[in-house]
Amino acid sequence: MVPFAHSSPFRVSVMMIKVIDVFERFLLRLGIASGFLTLFTMLVVVIDVAGRTFLNMPLIGGNELAVLLMVALIYLGMAAAQQRRHNFAIDLVTRLLPTGALRVVNIVTSLISTTLLGLLTWLTAELSWSMMLSGESSYGIIAFPVWPSRILITIGLGCLTLQFLFDLLRHLGLVPENAADNEKVSI
């Protein structure tokens, strides 16, 4: 772990730092677990194709289930992808900046990211809640529930917001560098 070097007039308690550390490790594991959903998605599509081709019996609700799995795969892995810096960015200009200026830019960009994702989380949460209460489902051969996908999106965006918030706290010098950075990606 990189030593906590920044001095700041504000302090985040040791307990809070531990909570952040534990939560970040959880987000990483959530990302790894979401990768496993690829297998289930693949199996659902293959079973549907095999059933349709050889038995003339498609997997009813298979497409809807595959979409639900894909939504989980996409959104539950976003925080881990950000934590591991998998998201594409252009560092052509920022790598030329002196350390102080770079820190300011990082604080501003983390603030923008946190605010934007916080807004999206809030709005999707409101809609998910109302859709869950109304039991939103798809119109098809079977009424497949859609609201779980919306809940998963809200959870995924919420986790991503927290990851950007942790990054912001780190750029502000309130939290030490990421302990999970040194952790091998494994289960």
Partner 1 sequence: MDPTIIGTLLVTMMLVLLLSGIPIAIALAATGVTGIIAMRPWGAVEYLLANFPYSYTATFSFIVLPLFLFMGYMAFSANLSRYAFEAGQRWLGHIPGGLAIATVFACAAFSAVCGSSVATASTMARVALPEMRLRGYKYSLAGGCIAAGGTLGVLIPPSGVLVIYSFITEVSLVKLFIAAVLPGIMTAVIYMICIYVMVKIKPDLAGMERGIIRATWNERFVSLGRAWEVMLLFSVVMGSIYLGVATATEAAAIGALLALIMVLRRPNAWENLKAGLWETGAGTSSIFFLIVGAGLFSLALNMSQLPTLVADSIVHFDLPPIAIFALIIVIYLVLGALVDGISMILITMPIVFPIILQLGYDPVWFGIIVVKAVELGCITPPVGLNVFVVKSSVPDAPLGEIFKGCIPFVLMEFLIIGLLVAFPQIALVLVGD
Binding site for partner 1 (CB under 8 A): 31-32, 34-39, 41-43, 45-46, 49, 63, 66-67, 70-71, 73-75, 77-78, 80-82, 84, 86-94, 105-106, 108-109, 112-113, 116, 119-120, 123-124, 126-127, 146, 149-150, 153, 157, 185-187
As measured in angstroms, the least distance from the Cβ of 72 to partner 1 is 10
As measured in angstroms, the least distance from the Cβ of 130 to partner 1 is 9
User: Could you tell me which of 98, 78, 97, 102 has the C-alpha nearest to residue 27?
Assistant: 78
As measured in angstroms, the least distance from the Cβ of 149 to partner 1 is 6
Residue 184, Cα to own-chain centre: how many angstroms?
Answer: 19
**Residue 56: half-sphere exposure toward Cβ, Cα within 13 Å:** 0
Between 16 and 126, name the residue whose CB sits nearer to partner 1: 126
Rounded to a whole number, what is the distance in angstroms from the first to the last CA of the chain? 20
As measured in angstroms, the least distance from the Cβ of 13 to partner 1 is 29
Phi, psi of 137 (to 5 degrees): -145, 165
Q: How far apart are CA 76 and CA 32, in angstroms?
A: 9
